[in-house]
Structure 1
Amino acid sequence: MFTNAQLQVERTGRGGTLREQYLQSKERIVANVANFAYDPYNYAFMRQLNILELFLDCITEPNEWLVEFGVGGICNSCADPANASVITQCGGIPLVVQCLSSPVKNTVNYALGGLYYLCNPSTEKRF
């Protein structure tokens, strides 16, 4: 759904959150969740809360920070076979491959690390 300045004013009302603050908060939240993605203790919670799908959604955003944090979260979590399965079933391999052409070095590094775990003989037919 597209928006404009008037719709944003109507939605937020007086004293509401500014769009720029909202987007910065979104970046911080995704970055923090991506940092939790390396710990195997959190893997089951991440699958239960659809965090892996959130990371994949972030990869499709035009915001380079969200792309970096999204693919970083995938890289941190895909060493677990169950997480890797969720990511591949959701079409994550082509999305991660697209990150290889990013101008941000961290994004490319995270994509390479993630693809190391995601690309194997069982996922060969998915891409």
Structure 2
Amino acid sequence: MSQKQRDLLELGRLEYLQALVTEFQITESPEAKKQILANLANFAYDPKNYEYLRQLQVLDLFLDMLTEDNEILVEFAIGGLCNLCLDKTNKDYILEADGVAPVINCLSSSNEETVMSAVTTLMYLTTPQSRQQTTALPVVECMLRFSLSANRRLSNLARVFLEDYCSPVQVEEARNLSKHTAVGIPLPKD
């Protein structure tokens, strides 16, 4: 394939993604919004699209969708962020945009996929600078409860989070606090 052919393919990719973003912004149909957001989240899986998605401000779109009432939109948005945050530039952007708090809020979702993506996203967003926020006491408490879930996927993921991202002191502090309170983020439905 010639350089010219590759350039045309890349231009086509950008135009297609631009068309998706524009359609998402103008459509009134909730079903169309879900489908478009699902498509954008799928495109976020491919590193070839990262630059285009940044250029089209799709990271902001995903972050904005995390506060929607529609659980499906939230699921696709957190899935898209999860796909994007492995990239250092995207990770830095999400952290600078105060994206950790809305991701943490997704832990209280009743949608299992949303919760799984939120836990994974927190793992990917953890850096020496963000660790204090991604492993804050309420998050560690939540992971302790998730580690006891009958849902094997969730319990295993929570255990990895506790073992790989939290210090033994943090886990112990959360355990002690949990013994004295019933407050916290609810478990998703199995």
User: 1:126, CA displacement in angstroms?
Assistant: 5.9
Question: Helix, strand or coil: the match of 1:30?
Answer: helix
Aligned CA RMSD, in angstroms, stands at 1.6
Query: Contact between 1:68 and 1:106, CA under 8 Å: does it hold in 2?
Result: yes
Aligned-pair identity in percent equals: 46
- Cα separation, 1, equivalents of 2:107 and 2:65: 15
Question: Helix, strand or coil: the match of 1:24?
Answer: helix
Could you tell me which amino acid in structure 1 is paired with residue 130 of structure 2?
T
User: 1:125, CA displacement in angstroms?
Assistant: 5.8
How many residue pairs match? The answer is 108
TM-score (norm 2): 0.54
Which residue does the alignment assign to 2:52? 45
Structure 1 residues 1-127: aligned runs within 5 Å? 22-124=29-131
Structure with greater Cα Rg: 2
Residue ranges of structure 1 left out of the alignment (5+ in a row): 1-17
Query: Contact between 1:96 and 1:111, CA under 8 Å: does it hold in 2?
Result: yes
- Cα separation, 1, equivalents of 2:102 and 2:110: 15
Question: Helix, strand or coil: the match of 2:72?
Answer: helix
